Each structure stands twice: as structure tokens, then as C-alpha cells.
Amino acid sequence: MGETFRLTLAQLNPVVGDIEANAARARRVFHDARAAGSDFIVLPEMFLIGYQAQDLVLRPAFQRDAAAALAQLARDTDGGPALGIGLPWREGDELFNAYAILSGGKVQAMVRKHELPNYGVFDERRYFAAGPISGPVAFEGGPRIGLPICEDAWFPDVAEAMAESGAEILVVPNGSPYSRGKYDVRVQRMVSRVTENDLPLVYLNMVGGQDDQVFDGGSFVLGHGGGLAAQLPFFTETVSHIDFTRCETGGWQPQRSTLAHVPDEHALDYQAMTTALRDYVRKSGFSRVLLGLSGGIDSALVAAIAVDALGAENVRGVMLPSRYTSDHSLEDAEVCARALGIKLDTVEIAGPVAAAEAALAPLFAGHDADLTEENIQSRMRGLLLMAQSNKFGEMLLTTGNKSEMCVGYATIYGDMNGGYNPIKDLYKTRVFAVAAWRNANHFDWMAGPAGEVIPTRIITKPPSAELRPDQKDEDSLPPYPVLDAILDLMVDRDASVADCVAAGYNRETVKRVEHLVAISEYKRFQSAPGVKLSRRALWLDRRYPIVNRWRDKA
């Protein structure tokens, strides 16, 4: 090992519960890293079982399977570099979020996570006991490495204690899910740990989608002083070797390596949605999807995301016109399908809707037509789409945006039907912005074509559910720029009615939005999962009772 030390960063995508496959991935990395002369391989937090495994980790049989797989992995990786891998680890009555160091055919060290996050998407105190702050792991002839696990590195005391006990490099294995702006926060926090302790730091993050969360990778290495020495790509599996050399002062400094591009906000959001959808579909055992392609902005964007994630050959659109569907919508859906290269089928709903109305006519006699009849149309579409999903083995995607989910502007058992919603955490105004961004941008990781895949008219025309003559969304809702601004304050930032009014919004409008949000919780509770993009995603970060009579009296 001498005066150099090679660290292998395995920014990989595990599958929750597939312990054998995850261990096999670790073995393959081990063999490649050994051939590359690596001294220490680092895999992400909880890599052996996948993350987050939620209540799976509480099952004794699951814990035993993980422990057995770890022991076998230790035997299989004898005679090469040390390997670090995360897993749940039981000691007596306590279960730990742990990080095992394997070397010489056995577990040489076990680091236990000290700081357990219990906010937002995390509920680690439900599962794990807080471990003691561990000392560094020593490598013969090489550096002593401190291993603060994920949240441990967000607090100064853990890194400081490791530095004081002799750590020369800090290596942080993470399972840190994506949210908008989080990369900058990570870098800022890690730079603080570097400057506080005058130690280089390696931040290794997981990559890939798991249910409502997606891990963005974006791993990086900081040298003394906080300078960026290596930047791994986002949302991409990567195995990278980082060489450290001993300085004249005795410390270790990373050699400068490749600095991958850090995408802008729209690019990160879009790649988060495509990665999350791809992994949700494939990890669930599906290969193809379908969606109702209405000629509107939401379904067009979902179609583009699906094609970029899965390829046009695995995406099918279905137009389900009613007597209120405009010619423009029919044309726009066809143009969008052609631009994306997907098959578009048409299933008329006028007949089935008429049959449903006729069946209900004796019961509805004497009652005026109202929202009920509009919802019959939406639910008929949901029924016919689910029938196709069952028949052809295609996962149905639902296409409601965050604005609609917040105020209940969606029909339960109708257009809310589906197995996954890629744009669930995207406000309507962001839907427009991301659609325009996709038309103007194309990258190698997109399976779909370059150019205008969402027709301009879809982006510029007034949104409409087309469930009654000349219907527009703004007949029932405030203009989306106003609605989304109020929702951002009220939902994402917990602002009061008074706060929203003080920000310049009409009190009557704010109160109406608050009412719609409050009475729609039962819909959100039954909605399809969708990837977290913002700091306050519905359900993951915002959990409200379904039955709730409290209202802001301001």
C-alpha cells in the first residue's frame, strides 16, 4: 500500500429485499476492484438489503438472511481489498443501521450509525437503536478511515470525535434520496466537516428508484480545504477509483479525478422522474406501460417521461374521447404520439357512458345533472384503461399533477387510477416549464427522440378536463400561477392563511384553497405513488388525518 491508497466508490442501484442479487453485485465490484489494485471498496448505506426497506428490517427472518449473506460475502471476498457494505445488524435486543468492513474472509469491523433521522421520509428511530460513535478503521500501511454513516456526517460531533480518535480520511456511505436543491446542501455540509477537521472527505451516495423515493448518486470527493477533487455523475451507476497520496505533512490528499457535469434544476427533476419510473416498473416485474393520452399537458409530459425511461416500444397511449372532447385534443394527442413514436389506440366512451347513465336514470330521475355525470365519464375512462392493463400486462400510469392532488381536482377511481404517477410532486406551473425544457433539451440517457415531443399547442392552450361543454380548469380553480403560489406557501411551507394574505393573495381565494386542500385528504390517501421531487412531497413529508375538522381561523 505504501504512500498511495486506492479507494473504489461503487455508486450502485440495489433492489430492496433482493439480498442475494445485491450481494452478487458487491462480489462483481470486488473482483473488478481487485484487478484494478484497489485497497478499499465502499458501497452505499444499507446496500445489502436495499434502502429504504421500512418494516422489512423488523422481521427476524429478514435480519438472519442479511447476516448470512454478509458472512458468505466475507468468505467470497477473501484475498483482496477490504469491502465496506451497509446492512441492518442485530446485537442482542438492539438492531442497528450498520456498516460492515470485510477483510481476510471475515467481518473485521462493524460501524453503527449514531444519528438516526426521524423527519420527512425517514423514520429510523422506529427501527434502529443509536450506536456509539465509532473510532476509525485502520488499514495496514494506509490511512485510518472514519466512517460516519449518512446522517452522522450532517452533525459536527460525530466527525469531530472520529478525527480526534485518529481518522485521516472521512468516508460517508449514504442512502440520501433526491429532492430539489439537496445537492448544494450536501456539499455545503460536507465542506463544513472538511474545514472543521482538516480532513479529506468522500461522500458516496446510492442511485436508483425505490417506490416514492429516488436516489440521485452525485457522489463526490473533497480534499483538504474543501476543494472538489472528484464528482461522480447523477442518476447513473458508476464504479470509480480515487487515489490518495500521503502528503509531506503525513496526511492524505485525494488526487484530482473526473468532475462530472452537475445538471440544472429542470434536468435533475426530469432525470429523477425517468429514473424513478423506470425502476418502479422494472423492479415491480413489469416491462410495458400504458396511459390515457388526452391531448393535455399532463398526459403528454407523462408520455415523454415514460418513453425516455422505457423506450417508445414499451409505452402505449390510449385516447378515450367523449362527446365533449375537442378536435384539437384529438389532433394534439395524435401529434404527440407520433413525435414520441408510441402506438396510440382510441376507445370511444360515449356508448359506455350512455349505458351507465341509462342504468342510473330511474334512480337519478328528478335530479339535475351535476358533477356526478362528469365523474361517470372519468370513471369510465379509468375502468377501460384498467381493463387494458389487466389484459395486456401493462402498468397503467396516472397523470395528475401536484396542484390537482392538493385541491382534489381529480376523480377517485377515475383519472386517479394507475400504478404510478411520475408527476405527482410537480405543480402545474412546473409541468409547463418542464415540458418546454424537454422540447429544448436532449441527453444520451433519454430513450426518446430529440426535438419537440410535446406539441407547442398542448403547452399554450388553456387546460381543460373536457367533461362538459367549453370547460376550463380556471372555471373551478384560481389561475395556476396564483394557485401554485398559495399551495407552495400553505402546503410546502406550512404558512397560515394570514401569511398567504400578507404575501399579497386574496383572503377569499386563500380560504377556498385551504378548504379544498383539507377536504381532499381522502383522495391523496388513495392516490398512486409518485416520486418525491420537492422538500414537501404529499404523503411522504406531509401526513395529515383524513378526518379533520380543524381550519385556520385567520
Which secondary-structure segment (H or E) carries 229?
A: strand 228-231
Q: Give the residue ranges of the annotated binding site.
A: 119, 176, 182, 292-299, 375, 399, 404, 523
Q: What is the pLDDT of residue 334?
A: 93
The DSSP string of 318-361 is EE---TT--HHHHHHHHHHHHHHT-EEEE---HHHHHHHHHHHH
Checking if the pLDDT of 1 tops 70, the result is no
Q: What is the pLDDT of residue 356?
A: 94
Domain with CATH 3.40.50.620 in the chain: 270-525
Q: Give the residue ranges of the annotated binding site for L-glutamine.
A: 119, 176, 182
Q: What is the pLDDT of residue 147?
A: 97
Burial class of 460 by CB neighbour count within 10 A (0 to 12, 13 to 18, 19+): exposed
- Within a 10 A sphere around the Cβ of 462, how many other Cβ atoms? 10
Q: What is the pLDDT of residue 326?
A: 83
The set of catalytic residues is 45, 113, 150
Checking if the pLDDT of 2 tops 60, the result is no
Which CATH number is 4-262's, of 3.40.1160.10, 3.60.110.10, 3.40.30.10, 3.40.50.1400?
A: 3.60.110.10
CATH of domain 270-525: 3.40.50.620
Question: Is 131 within 8 Å of 113 (Cβ atoms)?
Answer: yes
Question: Is 225 within 8 Å of 191 (Cβ atoms)?
Answer: no
Read off the pLDDT band of 247 (50, 70, 90).
Answer: confident
> Which amino acid appears at position 474 of this protein?
E
Q: Give the residue ranges of the annotated binding site for deamido-NAD(+).
A: 375, 404, 523
| Cα-based angle 530, 534, 537 (whole degrees, multiple of 5) | 50
Which secondary-structure segment (H or E) carries 83?
A: strand 82-91
How confident is the model over 85-101, as a mean pLDDT? 97
Read off the pLDDT band of 112 (50, 70, 90).
Answer: very high
Mean pLDDT, all residues of the chain: 94
Checking if the pLDDT of 525 tops 70, the result is yes
Report helix angle 19-35 to 60-76, nearest 10: 20
Percentage of residues of the chain with pLDDT beyond 90: 87
Sign of CA dihedral 135, 136, 141, 143: negative
In angstroms, the CA 22 to CA 206 distance is 13
Percentage of residues of the chain with pLDDT beyond 70: 99
Domain with CATH 3.60.110.10 in the chain: 4-262
Higher-pLDDT residue of 474, 416: 416
- Within a 10 A sphere around the Cβ of 182, how many other Cβ atoms? 15
Cell matching residue 186 = 450536501
Of 94-98, 362-366, 475-479, the least confident: 475-479
How confident is the model over 413-439, as a mean pLDDT? 96
Question: Is 473 within 8 Å of 462 (Cβ atoms)?
Answer: yes
Q: What is the pLDDT of residue 57?
A: 95
Report helix angle 371-392 to 350-364, nearest 10: 130
Checking if the pLDDT of 466 tops 70, the result is no
Q: Give the residue ranges of the annotated binding site for ATP.
A: 292-299, 399
Q: What is the pLDDT of residue 140?
A: 82
> Which amino acid appears at position 116 of this protein?
L
In angstroms, the CA 267 to CA 438 distance is 9
pLDDT digits (tens, 9 = 90+) for 431-456: 999 999 999 999 999 999 999 999 99
What is the reported pTM? 0.94
> Which amino acid appears at position 64 of this protein?
R
Q: What is the pLDDT of residue 461?
A: 86
Q: What is the pLDDT of residue 462?
A: 81
Question: Is 533 within 8 Å of 269 (Cβ atoms)?
Answer: yes
Q: What is the pLDDT of residue 467?
A: 66
Whether the link from the prior residue into 11 is cis, omega within 30° of 0, is no
How confident is the model over 531-539, as a mean pLDDT? 91
Kindly provide the b/e burial profile for residues 305-330, where b requires at least 16 CB atoms within 10 angstroms of the residue's own CB. bbbbbbbbebbbbbbbbbebbeeebe
